[in-house]
Amino acid sequence: MGKGKPFLEVLSSAIHEDYRFPFLELFAFLYALGTFVFASFGGIITATGTTNEAIAYSTTSSIIGASMFVFVILVFKNVAYGLGGDLEKGIIQTYFSYPLKRSGILTAKLLSAIGVALLLFLGIQISALYILAPDIVLPQLSTVFITYAATLSSALLIAGIMLLVTLGLRRGGITLVVGIILYAAMGIITSIAMVVSFATKSPLALQIISVISPSMALQQHYGGMSDIFSSVWAPTLSEVILYIGASYVIVASLFVLGYIYFSRRLNL
Amino acid sequence: MSRRTTILGRGGTVLIAISLALILVSFLPSQQMGSGDGITDVSAGTFSPLNRFPPFFAPLNSYYDTVLTPQQGVELELTANGTITAYILEVNTQTIFNWISEQQQVPARDLNVTRLEEFLEAHPNAIGWQHEINKETIKHTYIPTKVTNVTIVYSNPSSENIGVNHSYSEKTFTAPSNKVRDIAFWTTPIGIILAIPWLLNNWKQRKHK
């Protein structure tokens, strides 16, 4: 048996478990519905005097919101119940008997849990952007890419933390609760950072939060917040890219830790 | 069941799910933002933007200028008593007048139809829609694909004065319903064709069990 076959075997089994009929269809329906129903171009009507990049950013971020919530729920479910459930039931132990490295098993599980969800999310979102506003999006593909990169990093960060918690606890239910709490906490911390920055007239709190949630820096860059916050901090595009880069370094570190733990320390 | 059948089948069911969402979105009702009707007189050999003031206000004019996003559109119904060309231009009227003034080096408004043609030649991307109306009534819904200024202009190259009755209604909607419905009508049959073998296999397996 070649190396590819057991990997595909684990991947197809993971996809089968994570996206049982009609879960995939339900989430695809919610992605599409959330993308179109919650798209709002109302805020950009005043943006005719601003740059094309700002309009593209505003358009893209307006359609991400609701679908991002659906994406987060799907990823959390897959990581917590998919991986956590397999650890609990001993299915991972069975996979260890396959002629496949442990890292390969984790890659297959993560490709199913996050990769397929991300593919579906981006596929529907980008198609929707093309349907709704092709003339805004096509000339500004780099802005659209940066907006998605900035928005997705915090969700992937929590997914990375959930992966570590799942591997540590080896249980799905608690991990799902941890993920939901972290997701809610991220919103609360962001609000607190804004209040602190406003009160102290210092951008430090906003800068710190931007390392884990670079969409904040991007929003500041394009003036998506009120003028009060813009006067406190207005990062340049290169600074925003640095924040995005830093956040992905943290995300990558979490996943690398997960791989190291899964490959070397996980005893079942 | 082969892996290929499963992948194609699930792809098909996903397409059906997305199509259902699109059909649902296309049925969401639009909201009216503003509307108006009236008549615009276009003298021989001239052009005129759609005038919102009734003719008895002449020479005062209030030209139709608005800003539309991809979630907003304007429904037009135009009736002319002669042959004119109606344009929806993605600029505001002041841009047209300023450009003509700069070209002519005269501050006064020059409404000669040739000036409009020169403007359109210089700005071909500004034309969002154009249609020749020949003693008839036409209806058109215009939805831009970007955030843009919009104005409606009539061009009368003939040698007689023409009156154009207009009725417009600006609407805001979730998504361009025709476009979304068209996509759904294409993706649904594709989804069904892809899903049928998988669904049949599933049904057979359950029956067997």
- For A72-87, the pLDDT digits (tens) are 999 999 999 899 999 9
Structure tokens at A182: 């972290």
Identify the band that residue A44 occupies on the pLDDT scale cut at 50, 70 and 90: low
Q: Is B1 on the interface with A (CB under 8 A)?
A: no
Determine which of A179-188, A192-201, A233-242, B100-109 has the lowest per-residue pLDDT on average: B100-109
Distance from the Cα of A30 to chain B's closest Cα (Å) equals 8
Q: Is A26 on the interface with B (CB under 8 A)?
A: yes
Q: Is A11 on the interface with B (CB under 8 A)?
A: no
Say yes or no for a CB contact (<8 Å) between A21 and B14.
no
**Residue carrying the six token digits 């919009």:** B150
Predicted local distance difference test score (pLDDT) of residue A115 = 96
Residues 149-208 of A with CB under 8 A from B: none
Q: Specify which residues B89 forms β-bridges with.
A: B127, B151
Q: Which residues contact A226 (CB under 8 A, 6 or more apart)?
A: none
Say yes or no for a CB contact (<8 Å) between A37 and B25.
yes
Number of helices (H) and strands (E) in chain A: give both, helices first.
Answer: 14, 0
Identify the band that residue A251 occupies on the pLDDT scale cut at 50, 70 and 90: very high
Predicted local distance difference test score (pLDDT) of residue B126 = 95
What pLDDT, in 10s, does the model give residues B176-185? 888 899 999 9
Predicted local distance difference test score (pLDDT) of residue A201 = 87
Contact at 8 Å (CB) between B26 and B180?
A: yes
What is the average per-residue pLDDT within A96-104? 93
Identify the band that residue A46 occupies on the pLDDT scale cut at 50, 70 and 90: low
Identify the band that residue A228 occupies on the pLDDT scale cut at 50, 70 and 90: low
Whole-model pTM?
Answer: 0.85
Average pLDDT, chain B: 91
Distance from the Cα of A239 to chain B's closest Cα (Å) equals 28
| HSE (side-chain half, CA atoms, 13 Å) at A254 | 21
Q: Cα separation of A77 and A81, whole Å?
A: 5
Q: Is A10 on the interface with B (CB under 8 A)?
A: no
Identify the band that residue A47 occupies on the pLDDT scale cut at 50, 70 and 90: very low
Distance from the Cα of A81 to chain B's closest Cα (Å) equals 21
Distance from the Cα of A33 to chain B's closest Cα (Å) equals 5
**What superfamily would CATH give domain B31-173?**
GOLD domain (2.60.120.680)
What is the average per-residue pLDDT within A160-164? 95
What pLDDT, in 10s, does the model give residues B57-109? 767 788 999 989 888 999 999 999 999 999 999 999 999 999 999 887 766 67
Predicted local distance difference test score (pLDDT) of residue B108 = 67
- Which residues of chain A make contact with B30, given a CB cutoff of 8 A? none
**Residue carrying the six token digits 């344009």:** B87
Identify the band that residue A49 occupies on the pLDDT scale cut at 50, 70 and 90: low
Residue ranges of the domains in chain A? 4-265
Neighbours of B114 (CB within 10 A): 12
Say yes or no for a CB contact (<8 Å) between A22 and B25.
no
Q: Cα separation of B106 and B101, whole Å?
A: 5
For chain B, percent of residues with pLDDT exceeding 90: 70
Predicted local distance difference test score (pLDDT) of residue A3 = 58
CA B127 to the chain's CA centroid: 11
Q: What is the complex's ipTM, to 2 decimals? A: 0.89
For chain A, percent of residues with pLDDT exceeding 70: 92
Say yes or no for a CB contact (<8 Å) between B146 and A136.
yes
What pLDDT, in 10s, does the model give residues B48-58? 999 888 777 76
Neighbours of A212 (CB within 10 A): 19
Say yes or no for a CB contact (<8 Å) between B13 and A25.
yes
